[in-house]
Amino acid sequence: MDKFIIRGGNPLVGTVRVSGAKNSALPCMAAAILSEEEITLENIPQVRDIETQRRLLASMGAAVALHEGDARDHVTISCRSLSDPVARYEIVKTMRASSLVLGPLLARAGVARVAMPGGCAIGGRPIDLHIKSLEKMGAVIVQEHGYLEARVDSGVGSRVGRLRGAHIVFDRITVTGTEDLLMAAVLAEGDTLLENCAREPEVVDLAALLTAMGAKIQGAGTSTICVHGVAKLHGARYRINPDRIEAGTLLIAGAITGGDLIVANCNTAHLGAVIAKLRECGARVDVLGPDAARVHGNGRLRAADISTEEYPGFPTDMQAQYMALATQAEGVSLVRENIFENRFMHVQELVRMGANIKVDGNTATVRGPARLSSAAVMCSDLRASASLVLAALVADGESVIDRVYHMDRGYEHIEDKLRGVGAQIQRLGNVFVPRQEKPSYLNQPA
């Protein structure tokens, strides 16, 4: 299994570019199911989850082409024929977001067979709200042998029917739930009103792609979205957003190392909560424009509390990275996790490096500054791995970070990007390359 070897102590200096957003790319790729025509997506990050989504669509009969050369962040998807509307367990178990095909398959084909996503390191993560809402639109969904067997009855013999518009109020805010139902509603009969929706930029990105495909949507980015169903969607070309979580992670890397880092090719409008918190901690952050920000750490950070919220609040996907920063801040920081019930897996690994953190329920108390020393540590999930890399960048000595395949799920060539601004980091093992001819690593457990 791949490892990172990181020697700490170097301030990060220079410019680092952000890749496209994984959490936009995944629903946008699933949206290709809704049309018989080609969809070309640009700014697609070369990360393992995208490779998994490519495999999922290809297994259902879609033609998915990753472009070469300068356009290697382009992917073209044609779902002209969807011979097998099934999301198999072998793929779904490696990535929960695979369940995002449920809504589009029901909307397009009237039938879907999707493996239930199993447990996840950060929490139970059920998809009951997806199922309940699709049932309101006329889907009949039964669970059998670990699969959701879903179909829309037409009431005429065995012929499948079309989803019907409905008024849906989500019991709680769910990002992929909002995205799944948005994709179901665009081809439904009549109007759908979605309330208590997620307002994340990734939802807005998906709605923009669907609109480019001919969908009729209002209110994306607010908690109420109205969709007027249409009979058919056409092809489109669309450039997805930069990854705001990667951008936030890099801003923290600049602050924690006391560096001077420009984070470019990002969308600063999506970074409000993270930038505000960094400034509260005493880091200087200059917004250089709509697509770049500069962070000057001065090595003296002040403690500040965070409480994770839905967008535009402080993102849960930045909680672990922020905790690494808090270990270096003067005073006591309270880190409250409100979205997922088990998202402190990184705490014990940070404590192994010398951090002073106590967990009580959904709150971690971080006392700093702690002198971190290098250690062998292990990644447990995508964002936890980012926090260990950040801690190793300031620890004395050489840390060994194991199971970095977790990080490859959502960060594109992170070791090259960090080395490009002065980090001493190297990978032991194979660099992740998204090409068909390298299936072997996909056998690694999720």
Smaller CB separation from ligand EPZ, 57 or 372: 57
**Contact characters 3-42, ligand EPZ, x per CB under 6 A:** --------------------x--x----------------
Q: Is 339 among the residues that bind ligand EPZ (CB under 6 A)?
A: yes
**Contact characters 199-238, ligand EPZ, x per CB under 6 A:** ---x------------------------------------
Find the binder of ligand EPZ among 21, 101, 175, 266 (CB under 6 A).
175
Stated as kind and residue range, the H or E segment containing 289 is strand 284-289
Between the CA of residue 340 and those of 128, 306, 344, 356, what are the distances in Å?
15, 15, 9, 22
Please tell me the distance from the alpha carbon of residue 345 to that of residue 379, in angstroms, as a whole number. Answer: 9
Smaller CB separation from ligand EPZ, 375 or 382: 382
Beta bridge partners of 65: 76
Find the binder of ligand EPZ among 126, 146, 331, 429 (CB under 6 A).
126
Q: Is 317 among the residues that bind ligand EPZ (CB under 6 A)?
A: yes
Smaller CB separation from ligand EPZ, 126 or 439: 126
* Ordered DSSP codes for 44-92: ----HHHHHHHHHHHHTT-EEEE--GGGTT-EEEE-S--S--EE-HHHH
Q: Describe the crossing of helices 175-185 and 128-136 by its angle, rounded to 10 degrees.
A: 20
Q: How far is CA 27 from the centre of its chain?
A: 10
Smaller CB separation from ligand EPZ, 82 or 175: 175
Q: Is 353 among the residues that bind ligand EPZ (CB under 6 A)?
A: no
Please tell me the distance from the alpha carbon of residue 2 to that of residue 438, in angstroms, as a whole number. Answer: 15
Interacting positions 61-90 with ligand EPZ (CB under 6 A): none
Please tell me the distance from the alpha carbon of residue 375 to that of residue 399, in angstroms, as a whole number. Answer: 5
Q: Is 130 among the residues that bind ligand EPZ (CB under 6 A)?
A: yes
Kindly report each contact of residues 26-29 with a partner whose C-beta sits within 8 Å and lies 24 or more positions away, as own/partner: 26/50, 26/53, 26/97, 26/100, 27/97, 27/100, 27/176, 27/179, 27/183, 27/202, 27/205, 27/206, 28/205, 28/206, 28/209, 28/238, 28/240, 29/53, 29/54, 29/57, 29/64, 29/75, 29/77
Find the binder of ligand EPZ among 108, 383, 406, 417 (CB under 6 A).
383
Q: Is 316 among the residues that bind ligand EPZ (CB under 6 A)?
A: yes
Is 120 tagged catalytic? yes
What number of chain residues touch ligand EPZ (CB under 6 A)?
25
Please tell me the distance from the alpha carbon of residue 270 to that of residue 312, in angstroms, as a whole number. Answer: 8
Cis peptide before 312 (omega within 30 of 0): yes
Q: Is 195 among the residues that bind ligand EPZ (CB under 6 A)?
A: no
Choice among 79, 120, 197, 266 that is catalytic:
120
Q: Is 53 among the residues that bind ligand EPZ (CB under 6 A)?
A: no
Could you tell me which stretch among 2-10, 35-43, 64-72, 117-125 binds ligand EPZ (CB under 6 A)?
117-125
Stated as kind and residue range, the H or E segment containing 15 is strand 13-17
Beta bridge partners of 399: 6
Please tell me the distance from the alpha carbon of residue 337 to that of residue 308, in angstroms, as a whole number. Answer: 5
Could you tell me which stretch among 174-182, 233-241, 281-289, 394-402 binds ligand EPZ (CB under 6 A)?
174-182
**Contact characters 392-431, ligand EPZ, x per CB under 6 A:** ------------------x---------------------
Which residues here bind ligand EPZ, judged by CB under 6 A? Answer: 23, 26, 97, 123-130, 172, 174-177, 198, 202, 316-317, 339-340, 382-383, 410
Residues with catalytic roles: 120
